[in-house]
Amino acid sequence: MSETSESQLRAIAKLFRLTGWITFWSQLVLGLVSGGILLFASFSASSRTAGIGNNPGAGLGIFFAISGLVALGIGLFISFRYVRIGRQLDSANPSNRPRKLETVQVVRLGLLVHLVGILLTLIGAQAIVGILLTKSLTVSQIIPGTITQVDPSRIIQPLDIFVVQANTNTVSAHFAGLVGSIWLLNRITK
């Protein structure tokens, strides 16, 4: 990044630090909430007969949801890396500053990680929502006023909705990282 002036370099360094911290904390909070919900759902589903964990196809949905969280962990690391790049760019010693090509590669890696994370999480959400749709359709076939034994695994539980909320939080966290990466890439390639 030697072709930029000192004032531009300081502004870019500040932008990297600020964007890094904002994306880091927003992803961390949303990721912890999502991880907590999925952890609670997996323990709760194993201890009861009705639940999303006992439905066919739910394992695949939970797998992709957790894979999205793993990608979010990588995204957290990259967001913290933005902060470190900002500090290095602010260094008084020019030899400590990363080259523009290295910086752009880190930002592009952030874009890729968040796009893959969104894809994984959306696949998990589609599987889980498909299960909930199947549950709602099978419950609606019960005729009111008749005495029928309802399988508890066919009823939508509040925990099922929490799992959908966890996926939504994970997608939101990846979106925050994606916006931050696009913002940085736009600023440093001008």
Q: pLDDT tens for residues 116-152?
A: 999 999 999 999 898 888 888 876 565 666 656 666 6
The proportion of the chain whose per-residue pLDDT surpasses 90, expressed as a percent, equals 50
Question: Minimal CA–CA distance to 74: which of 105, 106, 100, 43?
Answer: 106
Main-chain dihedrals φ then ψ at residue 84, nearest 5 degrees: -65, -40
Helix (H) or strand (E) holding 58: helix 58-89
Q: Which two tokens stand for residue 40?
A: 């609670």
Interacting residues of 132 by C-beta distance below 8 A, sequence separation 6+: 52, 156, 160, 164
Please determine, for residue 52, whether its predicted confidence score (pLDDT) is greater than 60.
Answer: no
Q: How many CA atoms lie within 13 A of 67 on its CB side?
A: 17
The proportion of the chain whose per-residue pLDDT surpasses 70, expressed as a percent, equals 82
- Strand, coil or helix: what is 184? helix
Q: How far is residue 88's CA from residue 43's CA, in Å, rounded to a whole number?
A: 43
**Greatest CA separation found in the chain?**
80
Query: Which region among 21-30, 31-40, 147-156 has the lowest average model confidence (pLDDT)?
Result: 147-156
pTM over 0.75: yes
What's the mean pLDDT in 5-23?
91
Give the pLDDT confidence score for residue 50 in this predicted structure. Answer: 47
